[in-house]
Amino acid sequence: MFEWHGFRILTDPTFDPPGGEYKNGPVVLEKVTGPALAPEALGRVDVVLLSHDHHHDNLDHSGRAFLSRVPHVITTTEGAERLGGRAIGLALWQSVEIPGADGRLLRITGTPAQHGPAHLQRGAVMGFVVAPADAPDTALYFSGDTVWFDGIAEVAQQFPIRLAVLFNGGSASQQSDHLPSR
C-alpha cells in the first residue's frame, strides 16, 4: 500500500490467512504467513495495480473479493478479460489516467515484466510506472512480479523514475551486475 500524491495505491492484494494451498499446473504453493493488514484496516483504496491475476501469490481468494471494493483495477489485458468488472487492461507502454477526488489525474503506464523461471511460459505479467499527469518527473515504478531482464532497463530509459519498488526474484543467470543509471 502506497500513498502517492493523494492517491492510495495497493499492489497485488493477497489477504487469505496462512495455511491455504494453491495449485497452479505442476506447482503447489502453500501460504505460510498471513497479510500484514486485513482489508478492513486499509481504508480507502483508489487503485489496485495487479501485475497478474493468474497466480495466487499475487491475487488470492480474499484479494480477488477485495477488488470489488476498489474503483480502479489496472492489470494485463488478459487479466482484465478474466476479471471483468472494474478491471482495466493495459498493453505494454499503454497509459490510462485515473481521476482523484481532488480532480488531479494519476497516469499509470504498463511496463514490461517477465515472470520466472525463464524456461517456463507463465502467462502475461506487467509492471507499472505511476505519476501525476501534471508532474511526470515524479514517477514511481513498480516492477511487478518479474525477474531482471532488458525490459527493466527500458523503463529507466523512458521515464524519470524517482522511486522504484522492485520484485527481488530470479536466478543468478537472470540478474544484472548493475542497474542502468538515468
Please state, for a pLDDT cut of 90, what percent of the chain lies above it: 42
d(CA 176, CA 182): 16
> Is 41 a member of any domain?
yes
Query: Beta partners for 161?
Result: 139
Closest CA to 49 of 76, 15, 31, 81: 76
pLDDT 10s digits, 28-70: 888 888 888 899 999 999 999 998 777 777 778 888 899 999 9
Confidence of residue 180 (pLDDT cuts 50, 70, 90): very low
User: How many domains are contained in the chain?
Assistant: 1
> Is 130 a member of any domain?
yes
pTM of the model: 0.85
d(CA 126, CA 94): 11
Confidence of residue 119 (pLDDT cuts 50, 70, 90): low
pLDDT at residue number 176: 38
pLDDT at residue number 51: 87
> Is 179 a member of any domain?
no
pLDDT at residue number 179: 38
> Is 181 a member of any domain?
no
> Is 180 a member of any domain?
no
Segment 134-163 shows an average pLDDT of 87
Residue 156 backbone phi and psi in degrees, to 5: -65, -30
> Is 182 a member of any domain?
no
Gap between the terminal Cα atoms of the chain: 26
Helix (H, G, I), strand (E, B) or coil at 83: helix
Which residues span the domain enclosing 59? 2-174
Mean pLDDT of all residues belonging to the chain: 83
pLDDT at residue number 118: 61
Determine if residue 13 is left, alpha or beta; phi over 0 gives left, psi from -120 to 50 gives alpha, anything else beta: beta
Find the CATH number of the domain harbouring 155.
3.60.15.10
Q: Is residue 147 within 8 Å of 116, Cβ to Cβ?
A: yes
pLDDT at residue number 171: 37
